Each structure stands twice: as structure tokens, then as C-alpha cells.
Amino acid sequence: MKRLVSMLWASLCFMAAPAAADLLCLLTDVNCLSDCAETSVHFSINTSQFVDAQDPNDPPRRQVSDVAIGDRRFTAQAIMMDGGIVGFHEDAGELGSALMIVQASGAARLTLQPQNITLRGMCTE
């Protein structure tokens, strides 16, 4: 009975939280001074992926995000931190990596390696 009540409570808490974050970001290269091209970044995070497991013996779950940077589409490791910070990280080994962090205010930063490019801008839901 105690476990049932705990599961019901966890379900109610989960339902009170938004189920997904779907963000559209417009970013520009931090080194660009004039006539800067904007890069569109769209990604979504299903927040239910971050709920604690009901059984501590359950295997760890990988939190993923579907990402589109311009015409490029891929799945990345989702990031969700305290204070409403979200983002993603993709490590493609020698091909490079992408790290996106979005503050609760919508201010965003995307770092691309090995190109050593940093883009900044704003995201909206």
C-alpha cells in the first residue's frame, strides 16, 4: 500500500510538470561584426526522461534530445539543470562535438568543435 501511495504521489508530481520543452533558437557567430548570418537550432527535451526511477535497481536511462541545426538532424544527450537551464551535448569523436546551453531567460550559447565556433542568441518555446 505504501508503495502504491508513493507511485500515485510521484505520478501527480510528474503530471504537474511540463512534459516537454520544445525550443527554437536563432544564433549568430560571436566573432561576426556585421551582416551576420543566423543559424537556426531547434531541439526538444522530454522532461519525463529526468524523473527518478521508481526502482533503484532499474538500469540508468539515457536522456536524449532530437536536434536540428540548419539542415543537419541528429540525436544528442539532453541536458536539464536546476534553474530552468536546458541544452544538449553531442560527441561524434573525431567528427566533432556540439554543446548547447540555454539559460531560463532564453539566452543561448552553442559551441562547435573542432571548428572552434561559438554561436550566441536567443531561444523561444
Would you say residue 5 has pLDDT above 70? no
Considering only the C-alpha atoms of the chain, give the largest distance between any 2 of them, rounded to a whole number of Å.
Answer: 65
Would you say residue 8 has pLDDT above 60? no
Average pLDDT of the residues in 36-55: 87
Check residues 80 and 47 and name the one with the higher pLDDT.
Answer: 80
Model confidence pLDDT, tens digit, residues 55-106: 888 877 778 999 999 899 999 999 999 898 999 999 887 778 999 999 999 9
Q: Residue holding cell 554561436?
A: 119
Check residues 8 and 94 and name the one with the higher pLDDT.
Answer: 94
Structure confidence at residue 54 as a pLDDT band (50, 70, 90): confident
